[in-house]
């Protein structure tokens, strides 16, 4: 991450500000494409290199596997990443719950937090207040918080037992999702590799999806 990108990331807090600073100054679509590809490639490589060095991904996966119950949350755009992780974790282990704010509300989960529970909280700029509040109350109740965030100094990072910090620097008006999606994929993979009964659960799911006709023929 360059000094220019770091300053840009801190100062341009809204999509409108980022659009004016990043897109209006691009002369052609080709130039923009080259910039986006270069930025995404460098961003992903730098993030994964840093996470391998600090061990936070392995620590996060261990906490998820060791938990008796696993909850995943994220507000606004971060909800998409939370939903993806919950879906992937559910394929290989039981007791994975997505706090969606409708069927499963934060207040319901927080009313029954137990010491063996873990919460994976996605908190990316612009930081949803609801996610910070849930993480704070979950930690106060004795649960373990794993934070996935874009700033080591963010509120969720400070509340977390393990903080996985990803870079979201971008050449677009939208912060980059590339490294976040990669972290979701790696976390689910590491957890599945260590979870007892993961292979049996995956095999059983294959049988059930075939019986229920979940997917189109040939998929």
The two tokens of residue 63 are 């906490």
| pLDDT value of position 172 | 83
**Looking at domain 51-210, does it have CATH number 3.40.50.10490?**
yes
Range with the poorest average pLDDT among 17-21, 65-69, 133-137 = 17-21
Position with higher pLDDT, 28 vs 24 = 28
CA 173 to chain centre: 20
Residue pair 178/36 in contact (Cβ under 8 Å)? The answer is no
Q: Domain spans of the chain?
A: 51-210
The two tokens of residue 11 are 């100062």
- Write the pLDDT tens digit of every residue in 47-82: 999 999 999 999 999 999 999 999 999 999 999 999
In this structure, what are the phi and psi dihedrals at residue 71, rounded to the nearest 5 degrees? -115, 145
> Mean pLDDT over all residues of the chain?
89
List of residues 6+ apart from 136 with CB closer than 8 A: 155, 159
- Write the pLDDT tens digit of every residue in 143-157: 999 999 999 999 999
């Amino acid at each position: 991450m360059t000094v220019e990108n770091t300053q840009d990331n801190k100062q341009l807090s809204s999509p409108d500000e980022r659009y004016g600073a990043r897109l209006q100054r691009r002369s052609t679509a080709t130039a923009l494409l080259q910039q986006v590809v270069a930025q995404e490639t460098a961003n992903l490589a730098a993030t994964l290199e840093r996470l391998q060095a600090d061990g936070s991904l392995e620590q996060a996966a261990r906490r998820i596997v060791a938990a008796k119950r696993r909850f995943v949350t994220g507000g606004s755009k971060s909800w998409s990443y939370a939903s993806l992780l919950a879906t992937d974790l559910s394929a290989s282990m039981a007791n994975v719950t997505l706090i969606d704010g409708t069927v499963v509300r934060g207040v319901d989960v927080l009313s029954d937090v137990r010491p063996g529970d873990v919460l994976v909280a996605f908190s990316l700029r612009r930081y949803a207040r609801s996610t910070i509040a849930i993480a704070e109350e979950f930690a106060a109740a004795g649960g373990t918080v794993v934070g996935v965030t874009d700033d080591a100094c963010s509120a969720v990072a400070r509340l977390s037992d393990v903080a996985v910090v990803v870079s979201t620097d971008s050449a677009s008006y939208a912060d980059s999702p590339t490294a976040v999606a990669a972290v979701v994929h790696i976390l689910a993979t590491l957890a599945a590799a260590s979870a007892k009964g993961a292979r049996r659960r995956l095999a059983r799911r294959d049988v059930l999806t075939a019986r229920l006709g979940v997917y189109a023929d040939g998929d």
